[in-house]
Chains A and B, each alone.
Chain A
Amino acid sequence: MSEVEARSGRQIVLRLYVAIVVLAGVMGFVLGSIRPEDLEPELFGVIALPPTPFGVAIYGFVTIGIVLGVLLGLVIYVSERIDDAAGS
């Protein structure tokens, strides 16, 4: 069989991270446009954002970016410190 080109896992995971965060923003925009009842986005439960498409987009973008960013940070930390099989 002809070999499929191998790519860096880091690049692909990072691209996935960016894609998902952007998608969260887009989904926020969509939800902001349909404006379900009592939509009151509050960043971290503190900073009130307007219930407009852009407000909810920022809400989705920032929240998912930070939550997944922390998880990604953990993945990077664990990979560098604990993962014995790294690079094998």
Chain B
Amino acid sequence: MVAGDIVLTGLMAVLLVGVAALLTRVENWRSYTPLAGGGAVTGDETTVINREKPAGIIRWLTTVDHKDIGLLYGLYAIIALAVGGIMAMLIRIQLVTPAGAILGNNAYNSILTSHGITMLFLFGTPIIAAFANYFIPLLIGADDMAFPRINAIAFWLLPPAALLIWAGFFLAPVTDNMIEPARTAWTMYTPLSVEQANPGVDLMLLGLHLSGVAATMGAINFIATIFTERNEEVNWANLDIFSWTILTQSALILFAFPLLGSAIVMLLLDRNLATTFFAVEGGGPLLWQHLFWFFGHPEVYILVLPPMGLVSLILPKFSGRKLFGFKFVVYSTLAIGVLSFGVWAHHMFSTGMDPRLRASFMAVSLAIAIPSAVKTFNWITTMWNGRLRLTTPMLFCIGFVSNFIIGGVTGVFLASIPVDLILHDTYYVVGHFHYIVMGAIGFAAFAGIYYWFPVFTGRMYQRTLGKAHFWFSMVGTNITFFAMLALGYLGMPRRYATYQFDGAIAPLTQVSTFHQAATVGAVILFIGQLFFVWNIVQSWLEGPKVEDGDPWNLERDGMLDREFQWFDEQLEADSPEKDPSLLADGGQEEQDDS
């Protein structure tokens, strides 16, 4: 056994040395000194500095350029979206029949758990980081992020995080089901999560912890960048709305994610070292819920504030006028940021907690609807007096506003204690939050991808496919998630792998019908995403090249932001090869005296 270990260690060492040797042969590493990354450039004796990045895979493995890291985040998020989306399809197909169509109960629970964690932590947070990394430095006129290397580390923590979170799926077949995927649901409630002996839960917790560390490092970087790296012309008064929302989101991450990390470590200790943080004789199972939701509800706003920023940025561009009440949109962002830490226990109304506490959390939860409504009001007022151009990004923005209203209003009802006691743990809750996470956050992400597609690819997407993507997504989202709201009214509990009810509990025929409707909606939604992937890949490779730095004709309305001005400068620059993405630093022209 020991000899085997030594041999294995030796083999790993040889493999690592081999990989290192290969990398040094592929590219001379010293030729790549990232200027904006703090690479010391002193006097004349330094090595040659190439303005171009290394070629091939080395570029992507070694990059500290915020634009490349943004693209890496984007690719990562899209892969996670595909994985999470396929998991969602499996869930929906399973629920076509009351007895479950394709999966066993354990497989269903595993996929349900991973779907939630994948979409929130591996798609939601990274897709926002993708936009923020690529565009915040351009929008505020910075050379790069404040800490480019930390930026790279923060990204590279994510692939191992994903592998750990999904580890059970890979390891179950090779370990004879000794290590299986976690089946805790994404909320990991104790005592269930403590008592599942499966080591796959530990791996998932470690992966989640790692993704939290990555998010925190990224947040520190964004705060430092927005505070210290702004161009002298950019002050707090004219800072763009997307940067404001990223700044607020980063502050929320800074307070929320370390708490998740601590709670996860406590859970790991309870699982493996017999501590009693969440045991009845110790802190009690409810302690987990308090700690988790103290992170978990700000997490909702961590995920939704930047998409609101994207919509606030993009929607006025295609309305031909400035955002109505800009200041109030910023104030409402800050208000949501503060209030988001005072609403966590509305997830726990039915736990038997102190009714006086419940009432105070209900009040704050209702209050947080006000700044959200202010934003909605301002978006609609912006459109009212505008001249709208219904491009694909604009359609997704309008879709965002519509779905956000439905998701928001259904949420207001859940904030009310008596309503929540009836609807808690039913599909109504699932329908409500999917209107927000898919109908709003997902839509804003698509709006951002289409809006900036010319900047990060130098090409234009295919508009017909873009519009097909929107309409399939809009119709699919509303069929699927409205059916879930109706299922909630019928009393269908969430998370169940099957639903062969006693007729006295819920009417089985109607429940089946709505589950089938939700599945039809999910199929429509899925087809829409196939259009999206096809469009992005084909247009990136073969789409018409953008010759003009103002592909959306924004200058006419005086609304051309810095990122498009930067893009225009890159197009006009002679070298290198007219490809903006190949500049080694943050996109700034090299100074003669540097």
A residues near B, CB below 8 A? 1, 3-10, 12-13, 16, 20, 27, 30-31, 34, 36-37, 71-72, 74-76, 78-79, 83, 85-88
Contact = CB atoms under 8 A, between A and B. Distances in A.
B482 A27 contact: yes
A13 B321 contact: no
A13 B553 CA distance: 23
A9 B377 contact: no
Contacts of A36: 489-491
A1 B553 contact: yes
A72 B377 CA distance: 9
A21 to B, nearest CB: 12
Given A34-B486, A34-B510, A79-B381, A9 B386 contact: yes
A1 B548 contact: yes
A75 B384 CA distance: 8
B509 to A, nearest CB: 10
B89 to A, nearest CB: 24
Contacts, number: 85
B324 interface: yes
Given A8-B388, A71-B377, A85 B324 contact: yes
A70 to B, nearest CB: 12
A44 to B, nearest CB: 17
Contacts of A83: 324, 381, 385
Contact of A4 (B383, B390, B491, B507): B390
B551 interface: yes
Contacts of B386: 9
A7 B381 contact: no
A8 to B, nearest CB: 7
A85 B321 contact: yes
B332 interface: no
Contact of A16 (B391, B402, B551): B402
Contacts of B398: 12, 16
Contact of B381 (A12, A34, A37, A75): A75
B550 to A, nearest CB: 9
Contacts of B381: 75, 78-79, 83
A3 B390 CA distance: 11
Contact of A6 (B388, B482, B486, B546): B388
A10 B319 CA distance: 11
A14 B305 CA distance: 27
B578 interface: no
Interface string B554-590: 0001000000000000000000000000000000000
A8 B388 CA distance: 6
Given A9-B385, A86-B385, 14 more contacts: A1-B551, A1-B553, A4-B390, A6-B387, A9-B383, A10-B385, A13-B383, A16-B398, A20-B405, A34-B490, A76-B384, A79-B385, A83-B324, A86-B321
B391 A10 contact: no
Contacts of B322: 85, 88
A27 B479 CA distance: 11
A3 B510 CA distance: 48
A75 B489 CA distance: 32
Nearest to A86: B385
B286 interface: no
A43 to B, nearest CB: 18
A85 B402 CA distance: 24
Given A5-B389, A13-B380, A37 B491 contact: yes
A7 B387 contact: yes
Given A3-B553, A9-B319, A74-B377, A87 B385 contact: yes
Contacts of A10: 384-385
B510 to A, nearest CB: 5
A31 B388 contact: no
